[in-house]
Structure 1
Amino acid sequence: MIMKNLLKIFLLGISLSSCVDLDEEVYSEVTASNFYQNEEEVVSAVMRPYAHLRQVFLNFSTNGCGVFLLQELSTDEAAWPTKGRDGFDNGNWIRLHRHEWTVEDGSFAISWNDMYKGIALCNNLLFDFKDIDAVNSTDKLQYQAELRGLRALYYYYLLDLFGNVPLVTAINQFSPSNNTRVEVFNFIEEEILDIRTNLPKKGDIGWYGRFTQEAANGLLSRLYLNAEVYTGEARWTDCIEVSRLVLGSSFSLEAQWDAPFKTDNYASDENVFAIPADELFGNDLQQMFQFTTHWQQREPQFGYQGNGGYNGMVSVREFIETYDTLNDARCFFDSRVFIPGNENDPTLLRGQFMWGPQYGRDGNPILGTNDKNGQHLVFELDVPNMEDGNEASGARNIKYQVEYGAVGFSNDIVLFRLAEIYFNIAEASLRNGGIVPQDVLDAINVIRNRANVPTYQNLTLDELYDEKGREMAYEGLRRTDMIRYKKYTGNWWDKEVSDGFRTLFPIPQSSRNVNPNLDQNPGYPD
């Protein structure tokens, strides 16, 4: 809660900074030493790169998107088909789904610019910290470590999405050229290893929402798991060892599958690193709700008083059918649970995928307004193709709890959680020629048990791929996992086999137009 309160103070400070009349002490020159007068001002500045993470992950416009949508809409898990007059958006989502994107597509420019803005925020503060005297040396060391850790996280997303990106670590690097993917990988690894012991730990005062030692190890776990893709050299043993460090901390799996995504998920012991949010301040998670829901669902069904929805993003039927659709607690969400009297009915499933007839809290059918005008809104699992959907085409995903009566989302955005770490150890162990360790298999069976599906006696890579897909759906990991399993350029619903170079997105042409030193990724027109 401390981090959430700091976030509120930071965001409120931005809104007030232009309208407060204060007696000012005039300096001949504004420097870091006289700009930051106390620790509160320093902490507020450190919060800025944290707050920016929400935009990096969930940014959206009709011309492009952030990390989350790039990681989901280019995979077999989700799509954004055109539905009558809605959702075409210049063909962006069709091209993304079919791997037909171009170097001009806005999604890549939005993500690229957002991440380099985050890096610039970190670099600027790290430069200022050389002259800041408002905090003691121990705290300064921690804040510097946090900023370097956040910068490494921003670079991880660039490494994963774009590969050969410029390493900018100072405030006066203009028109930088590309670094190789191996160089970026090495930079991230070296930064994390160098700062790790200076980071806060779980349980320290104000640790929640900060880039902690456990978050650093979670990032290394993901980095090493994908090392063979990124560098050509497998790092399975390193992945297992650093993942074990996370297991050795005091995180634990929740008893309920959806506890990490509840409104009060700041209290979840499963979430290793989450971006703090607030109903009024930092309400970016509303975007995820808007991506998937129909505008007619918002108030009658969820009782939600904020904005929504776009009736855009749907879940691909073939992906949903990897679940035991009748029994898996993570799968079907029966809209009848909203009707008064049904709250405790155990026969009504409360998963994350909504399809079939939709009802409001008054028990009345939700009605369509466009090509389903006046008709009962019945979400159809089958979508004809990316161009020819209708208002009711596709199942919808609701992974994060929607609080009745709220005007925004206070759920924190989960970036790393313990379940992923167990999956990482299991996969690295299998790929390293071994078997899944018993304690890790036991943990995966806890995940299976809470989903109400049978446990495993052992695991193959294919079974692990499917189970991780089911558990980690809509958490921004699918593209990376598909690439590692060599499935990303294959065919799936309304998508043919694509070229191998599509495992990297193009360097945005708009960035190359202003920086002639940027080379394009292989396979794309130069």
Structure 2
Amino acid sequence: MKNLLKIFLLGISLSSCVDLDEEVYSEVTASNFYQNEEEVVSAVMRPYAHLRQVFLNFSTNGCGVFLLQELSTDEAAWPTKGRDGFDNGNWIRLHRHEWTVEDGSFAISWNDMYKGIALCNNLLFDFKDIDAVNSTDKLQYQAELRGLRALYYYYLLDLFGNVPIVTAINQFSPSNNTRVEVFNFIEEEILDIRANLPKKGDIGWYGRFTQEAANGLLSRLYLNAEVYTGEARWTDCIEVSRLVLGSSFSLEAQWDAPFKTDNYASDENVFAIPADELFGNDLQQMFQFTTHWQQREPQFGYQGNGGYNGMVSVREFIETYDTLNDARCFFDSRVFVPGNENDPTLLRGQFMWGPQYGRDGNPILGTNDKNGQHLVFELDVPNMEDGNEASGARNIKYQVEYGAVGFSNDIVLFRLAEIYFNIAEASLRNGGIVPQDVLDAINVIRDRANVPTYQNLTLDELYDEKGREMAYEGLRRTDMIRYKKYTGNWWDKEVSDGFRTLFPIPQSSRNVNPNLDQNPGYPD
């Protein structure tokens, strides 16, 4: 299955170069490209492959969805650490909610998502005249493309709110639609295509936008409906989430199984972006965001680029965990030393702090202000400007395969744990209690983390537990907004203005499209 997906994801780039005797066209058009099913499938895979970039794009002047959702919250920060991490002050402004309409992060994310929408629109236009596949498959591919387009629009809705709905290739300089209109468009699209999507267990279902992925998206959409539209949809959230529960997914026995190098085999992952160590290695960014470059070889044997020594979590967030017992929390670097692999006293969580050791048991040494000293990651970070090269805990939620040249772990977008949290929250907000089967499932999540189970749940505790379980999965900003905590104060961030719950429409986009209105609160 994994190898088939690699072929699919690479199809768009390989389909015209593997056969040296193939006919060469002077111009590739819809009429001469879609000659067989393989060419159709390779084209359909192109918007899927683009998801990796949308989620994990990064430069020193901006970023994709993942970093926007994490670095503007209490969960993560990218402080300046000596000579590392200033990057024109982008990450300082993002964390403190002091960003401007010209910050590159918003332009990068906006452009990436509209590129994905354009890919879908272009293929949907071409599909009207394609007869290289049968009508049933054609209907499914069209449904998948509309589903992916809806997913791109969900991220635009969540991040920017009032965005243009573009469904044709000849819509030029469109004006903003309201956030309510975008919400309704996503909902109507998903409900219209859902029955034509593949299901879990169908041939080639994994990594595709399935009926279960569609229901996962609706679950997240309805959970946030009150934020997006002003009208709560708690009952709808519960009902569509129940459809996912009935789809033969199951919680893993180990907390980190959904993030292992073989996580394509995890029954907990509802929708993931397939990755490849050589040809689809975007996940290495998540490793590089947080790790120190000195960790790369002695700890992980990683053959790719070293870490950026950038993204960290500070004491205030780390201590929302039971740091002594929660299996999701502390990662002891001594587990790398041969002979310690099965030592039960050495914890294998997702946050590295304290002294760092290599596989040979020797200390890893710093290079800048810690030059020649044992590298000891510090939970206490003074502020966003004055860190040192060892400031902050580092996250390694996704397993690093020793000696690898890249990451083959698939990027998880929806998993079953989130669905249980969604039902629990919607039930509590709807005036009820957490249903027993959902409480039991959340207790499975607690039990595998080696922490006490719940007899009952409050919204406040649910918020904390979801934060612990779903850390570094790109959900924190959305959750903080829904719980009305996003504009509050936390470590090195003062109370921010309410309009900051939406990012600004990028000024660079408004410069070329005068029909785009700016979101309220930002300078026009």
Displacement of 1:307 in angstroms is 1.2
Q: CA deviation at 1:34?
A: 2.8
Residues 303 and 28 from structure 1, CA distance in 2 versus in 1: closer, same or farther, beyond 3 angstroms? closer
CA–CA distance in structure 2, aligned partners of residues 14 and 221 of structure 1: 31
Kept after mapping to 2: 8 A contact 1:104/1:509: yes
Check the 8 A contact 1:4/1:277 in 2, yes or no.
Answer: no
Cα deviation digits, residues 264-318 of structure 1 (max 9, x gap): 0000000000000010110000000000000000010011111120000001211
Cα offset, 1:407, TM superposition: 0.3
Matched-pair contact (CA < 8 Å) for 1:11–1:281: no
Structure 1 residues 265 and 26, CA, compared in 2 at 3 Å: closer, same or farther? closer
Structure 1 stretch displaced more, 336-345 or 17-26: 17-26
Q: Structure 1 residues 293, 29: closer, same or farther in 2, change over 3 A?
A: closer
How big is the shift at 1:9?
A: 3.2
Indicate how the Cα distance of structure 1 residues 357 and 244 shifts in structure 2: closer, same or farther if over 3 A, else same: same
Cα displacement string for residues 63-97 of structure 1 (whole angstroms, at most 9, x for unaligned residues): 00000000000000000000111100000000000
- What is the 5 A alignment of 1:303-452? 303-452=301-450
Please list the CA deviations of residues 392-450 of structure 1 after superposition, one character each: whole Å capped at 9, or x if unmatched. 00000000000001000000000000000000000000000000000000000000000
How far apart are 1:150 and its partner, in Å?
Answer: 0.2
SS at structure 2 position matched to 1:384? coil
| Offset at residue 6 of structure 1 (A) | 4.6
Q: Which deviates further from its counterpart, 33-42 or 79-88?
A: 33-42
Moved over 4 A (4+): 10-31
Answer yes or no: is the 8 Å Cα contact 2:9–2:48 preserved in 1: no
Secondary structure of the residue aligned to 1:25 is coil
Residues 108, 505 of structure 1: 8 Å contact kept: yes
Q: Is the 8 A contact 1:33 1:133 kept in 2?
A: no
Describe the superposition over 1:91-144 as per-residue Cα deviations: whole angstroms up to 9, x where unpaired.
Answer: 000000000000000000000000000000000000000001100000000000
Change (3 A) 1:18 1:327: same
Q: 1:13 Cα shift?
A: 5.3
Cα deviation for residue 33 of structure 1 reads 3.6
1:14–1:438 distance in 2 versus 1, CA, 3 Å: closer
* SS of the residue 1:274 aligns to: strand
Map Cα deviations across residues 14-72 of structure 1 (whole Å, 9 max, x no partner).
Answer: 66678778566588985424321100110000000000000000000000000000000
- For 1:265 and 1:426, the matched residues in 2 are separated by 26
Contact 1:4 1:278 in 2 (8 A): no
Tell me, yes or no, if the aligned pair for 1:7 and 1:51 is still in contact at 8 Å. Answer: no
Change (3 A) 1:403 1:422: same
Point out the more displaced range, 19-28 or 475-484.
19-28
Instruction: Give me the TM-score of the superposition, normalised by structure 1.
Output: 0.98
Displacement after TM superposition at 1:327 (Å) = 0.2
Match of 1:289 in 2: 287
Secondary structure at 2:478 match in 1:
helix
Residue ranges of structure 2 left out of the alignment (5+ in a row): none
Query: Match for residue 110 of structure 2?
Result: 112
Distance 2:24 2:380 in 1: 66
CA-to-aligned-CA distance 1:182-226 (integer Å, 9 cap, x gap): 000000000000000000000000000000000000000000000
**Secondary structure of 2:413's aligned partner:** strand
Matches of 2:28 and 2:258, distance apart in 1: 44
User: CA–CA distance in 2 between the matches of 1:296 and 1:152?
Assistant: 41
The aligned length equals 524
Contact 1:215 1:272 in 2 (8 A): yes
What residue ranges of structure 1 are gaps of 5+ in the alignment? none
Does the CA-based 8 Å contact 2:215-2:244 persist in structure 1? Answer: yes
Distance in 2 (CA, whole Å) between partners of 1:9 and 1:272 is 21
Task: Tell me the SS of whatever aligns to 1:429.
Answer: helix
Distance 2:362 2:20 in 1: 55
Q: CA deviation at 1:377?
A: 0.1
* Secondary structure of the corresponding residue to residue 293 of structure 2: coil
